[in-house]
Copies of this chain bind each other. A is one copy, B any other.
């Protein structure tokens, strides 16, 4: 699995001027491959993606692609992780519930408006089945999301909005689970109001309190 560190550089070496590996031959080839993959993904999705197609479109030899990526799944995951790299953290707006709703809406936006949604649809089966891919996805995406929510929770607790015993992971599941469930399986709409509705259902404006 070369996905995590395609250039093989930048780890133990002396840091030279402006990361020379980013402009070397290898990096150029890398970009050609990923750009072509992105284009092809946009057109035909993960299912229609072929290594041969990427080779033709990018001008890079098929064998070169196989020297880096084990399979088309590996290739698609590389694009996914690359696109997700800059997720960012949810800003402090002074309102815990608004911030939580923001997490939800940003995720929906991500799935609806970019390639990521399409890639996720095609990759979810592979991620679910392949432990190696699953690990990569967890480290690069899932864990970051939980960490983001954890920050919100800590802010919320210090504001007195949330109980001190809130489980950040469970809360993340409650915020994101419904999104993916709708996106993958139920097909129910994921519009702009969903975040607010979800959060207000979650926090006491929905069901009544315990008996």
Q: Does A134 contact B (CB under 8 A)?
A: yes
User: Nearest CB to that of A120 among chain B residues?
Assistant: B128
Assess the A201–B185 pair: CB atoms within 8 A: no
Q: Does A161 contact B (CB under 8 A)?
A: yes
Assess the A207–B125 pair: CB atoms within 8 A: no
For the complex, would chain A's binding face be called helix, strand, loop or mixed by DSSP majority? helix
Q: Does A173 contact B (CB under 8 A)?
A: yes
Q: Does A88 contact B (CB under 8 A)?
A: no
A160: chain B residues within 8 A (beta carbon): 208, 211
Q: Does A203 contact B (CB under 8 A)?
A: yes
Assess the B121–A206 pair: CB atoms within 8 A: no
Number of A interface residues, CB 8 Å? 55
Q: State which residues 113-161 of A face B: CB under 8 Å.
A: 121-129, 134, 137-138, 142, 160-161
Q: Does A169 contact B (CB under 8 A)?
A: yes
Assess the A128–B185 pair: CB atoms within 8 A: yes
Q: Does A176 contact B (CB under 8 A)?
A: yes
Assess the B204–A128 pair: CB atoms within 8 A: no
A126: chain B residues within 8 A (beta carbon): 125
Q: Does A187 contact B (CB under 8 A)?
A: yes
Assess the A210–B205 pair: CB atoms within 8 A: yes
Binary contact readout A161-181 vs B (1 if CB under 8 angstroms, 0 otherwise): 111001101110110111111
With contacts A96-B211, A138-B186, A162-B207 known, what are 13 further pairs, Cβ within 8 A? A45-B129, A121-B128, A124-B125, A124-B184, A124-B185, A128-B185, A170-B197, A170-B201, A170-B206, A173-B177, A202-B207, A203-B209, A204-B204
